[in-house]
Chains A and B, each alone.
Chain A
Amino acid sequence: MDLLSPNPGLIIWTLITFVLVLLVLKKFVWGPLLSALDQRETRIREALEQADKARAEAERSAEENKQALAQAQAEAQAAINKAREDAEQVARDVQERAEADAQQLLEQARRTIQQERNQALQTLRQQTAELAILAAGQLLEENLDDEHNKKIVDDFINRMPDTQQN
């Protein structure tokens, strides 16, 4: 046969062969192969996206942990400060009350003393007056009116300087 001679039989056979090969390969090779390629690419893309997401998540949770820790520390510090202030307040209150009590007791004692003293002074004055009257009566042997004498003595006592009272 010549190099360039047309051969219709071979043309038809080639066409049939090629179409058959195309159909067989399309069914058994290209279909599964190309879909597997797409599938794998989708898988890889998804895996990468997921990895990115997971990393972002991890970073965010680490940040959150840090913030929570800082907050917890701040809260603990605040609680400690508050407790210390409360304790100081309580201590101050107790001290103030004790001081006030002591002051009150002192005051009361002082008042009682003053009262006792006044009473004692009063008694002393009366007795002194009576003694004076008695003494004066006996001394003068003059029958004087009790009322009158008493008045004189009272006046005498009242004329005494105020300093005597203390």
Chain B
Amino acid sequence: MAAQAEEQSGGSFILEHITDHHELHLGPLHIPLPHIELFGIDMSITGHLVMMWVASLLLILTLITSTKRRGLIPSGFANAIEAVAIFIRDDVARPNLGERDAPKYMPFLMTVFFFILFCNLLGLIPFGQTPTGNINVTATLAGISFAMMLGAGIKHNGLFGFFKGLIPPNLPIALLPLMIPLEFLGLLTKPFALCIRLFANMLAGHVVILSLIGIIFILGYFVAPISIAFALAMYMLEIFIAFLQAYVFTLLTALFVGLCIHQEH
């Protein structure tokens, strides 16, 4: 597959790097992954899935080891984790969910943030790939957010109350046939935007970096210094974006869940 891609046009190697495969690509090494089929669904392990597991393992190990010796006074890396936890609690959860409901959603929001962050950052490590650059992964994460929105909304307002609350109060009956589909569409747009935003952001950075490197092979080695300088700048930007997108996803999830809980606002 890789040999094929290299023989093709200059841009195809980019696609090969950013798409998912049934084998794990570690540089020149292509490790085949098992094909699994369950209940007629192709449950094969893919490269991105392995990367997601690596990110999850790293995440769990990092968090557990850094916060294991728990005292009232944090030290070392636990400080950074706590700073993020306090930030998400005070600036993401509480303003959007309210003081009373925030603690219940904190573990979920913290997990969303760190899971996406580690997946994002994994793509910046050599041999690593970005699981969040796969639309299936971001769609699932957005789906989980959507489920949280619906679950929280129905739990707080009741099944009927939640869907009734979607329609603005005191609306003329004549507008109902228009507003019901619109509001329903508005509800679906939120997770869709979450999915596309994360996917596109993660994908775009890699595409730009790979393109800048690819220029070297198209135009010749003399552009290498410029290309590498730009790629380095993009890499720095990507580190920032990895944090930013994890934050944005978490913030919007909290915001949307909050909107579903407090429909009157």
Contact of B141 among A6, A12, A14, A28 (CB under 8 A): A14
Q: Which of A1-40 contact B (CB under 8 A)?
A: 1-4, 6-15, 17-18, 20-22, 24-26, 28-34, 36-37, 39-40
Q: Are B89 and A25 in contact (CB under 8 A)?
A: no
Q: Are A11 and B107 in contact (CB under 8 A)?
A: no
Q: How far is the CB of B175 from chain A (nearest CB, A)?
A: 36
Q: Are A1 and B21 in contact (CB under 8 A)?
A: yes
Q: Are A32 and B141 in contact (CB under 8 A)?
A: no
Q: Say yes or no for A43: interface residue by CB 8 A criterion.
A: yes
- Give a binary string over B58-86; 1 marks a CB under 8 Å from any A CB, 0 the rest: 01100110010010101000000110011
- Counting chain A residues whose Cβ lies within 8 A of the other chain, the interface size class is 20 to 34
Q: Which of B80-99 contact A (CB under 8 A)?
A: 81-82, 85-86, 89
Q: How far is the CB of B238 from chain A (nearest CB, A)?
A: 18
* CA–CA, A13 and B135, complex, Å: 13
Q: How far is the CB of A8 from chain B (nearest CB, A)?
A: 5
Nearest-CB residue, chain A, relative to B140: A14
Give the number of residues in B that approach A within 8 Å (Cβ atoms). Answer: 50
Interface-facing stretch out of B12-20, B184-192, B215-223, B224-232: B12-20
Q: Say yes or no for B103: interface residue by CB 8 A criterion.
A: yes
* CA–CA, A17 and B144, complex, Å: 12
CB contact under 8 A between A33 and B111, given known A8-B42, A9-B41, A15-B140: no
- Give a binary string over B33-55; 1 marks a CB under 8 Å from any A CB, 0 the rest: 00010000111111011001100
Q: Are B41 and A8 in contact (CB under 8 A)?
A: yes
Q: Are A12 and B85 in contact (CB under 8 A)?
A: no
Interface centre among A8, A11, A20 (most CB of B within 10 A): A11
Q: Are B60 and A30 in contact (CB under 8 A)?
A: no
Q: Which of A68-111 contact B (CB under 8 A)?
A: none
Contacts of B81 in A (CB 8 A): 33
Q: How far is the CB of A29 from chain B (nearest CB, A)?
A: 5
Contacts of B48 in A (CB 8 A): 10
Q: Are B19 and A37 in contact (CB under 8 A)?
A: no
* CA–CA, A49 and B49, complex, Å: 52
Nearest-CB residue, chain B, relative to A30: B107
CB contact under 8 A between A12 and B108, given known A18-B115, A37-B85: no
* CA–CA, A9 and B64, complex, Å: 29
Contacts of B144 in A (CB 8 A): 15, 18
Q: How far is the CB of A11 from chain B (nearest CB, A)?
A: 5
Nearest-CB residue, chain A, relative to B118: A21
Contacts of A13 in B (CB 8 A): 43, 45, 49, 52
A contact residues vs B (CB 8 Å cutoff): 1-4, 6-15, 17-18, 20-22, 24-26, 28-34, 36-37, 39-40, 43
Please name 13 further chain A to chain B contacts, defined as beta carbons within 8 Å, in addition to the given A29-B64, A30-B110, sorted by A numbering: A10-B49, A11-B139, A14-B49, A15-B140, A17-B49, A17-B53, A17-B56, A18-B111, A18-B144, A21-B115, A25-B63, A32-B70, A33-B81
Q: Pick 13 A–B contacts, CB within 8 A, sort by A.
A: A1-B22, A3-B18, A3-B203, A10-B20, A10-B134, A11-B139, A17-B56, A21-B60, A25-B111, A33-B70, A34-B85, A39-B72, A43-B72
